[in-house]
Amino acid sequence: MKAPGWSALAAWVALAISLVNVWYSVVRLWLKERKASPSADLELLHYVSANGPTEEVRVVITNHGPATMRRVDVQVFDEDGQSLELADESVSALWPKMPIELLHVGQSLYLTLDMALGTRDPRAVLIRWQDGRRPGQSRWSALSYNRRA
């Protein structure tokens, strides 16, 4: 290979390196800013009200960002994978109308479960949302009362 061939090869290599640098320094960070990152926790609350001691079970969905979650839809499942809302419509009676239009970064959505004696325990949650990426995102998360020490 002669000098013009080597210089052409060097130019192509330099172009490839500059494109990789643009990807890692600009495009990748731009895509990361468009991603929402939700988490789900199960809370068991005991408190005393005017009617005496009360126990409440709620699912807490939190957006850790950096993007805003849009059109958030939540579905809770028991240990057999059956939807609690489909098995007993009263479970989600205290929830806001789904889908929730916006869940900002750092904002939490508290979904109180209206549990009857025959209602099975919640074990998993499916969160669906839209953010700055492709049309729809979803995340399956296991729920447990003993997640935090």
Per-residue pLDDT averaged across 118-144, rounded? Answer: 88
| Number of alpha carbons in the 13 Å side-chain half-sphere of residue 132 | 14
- pTM of the full structure: 0.72
Q: What percent of the chain has pLDDT over 70?
A: 91
The rounded mean pLDDT for the chain is 84
pLDDT-based confidence at residue 125 (cuts at 50, 70, 90): very high
What's the confidence (pLDDT) of residue 94? 77
Of the two residues 14 and 38, the one the predictor is more confident about is 38
User: 35-142 belongs to which CATH class?
Assistant: mainly beta
Per-residue pLDDT averaged across 28-53, rounded? Answer: 82
Distance (Å, whole) CA 31 – CA 23: 10
**Contacts with 139 (C-beta within 8 Å, 6 or more apart), sequence order:** 38, 126, 127
Contact indicator for 136, 99 with CB cutoff of 8 Å: no
Contact indicator for 97, 47 with CB cutoff of 8 Å: no
Distance (Å, whole) CA 80 – CA 62: 25
> Domain limits of the chain?
1-33, 35-142
Residue range 61-98, pLDDT digits in tens: 999 988 889 999 999 998 888 988 888 888 887 788 88
Contact indicator for 83, 140 with CB cutoff of 8 Å: no
Of the two residues 140 and 17, the one the predictor is more confident about is 140
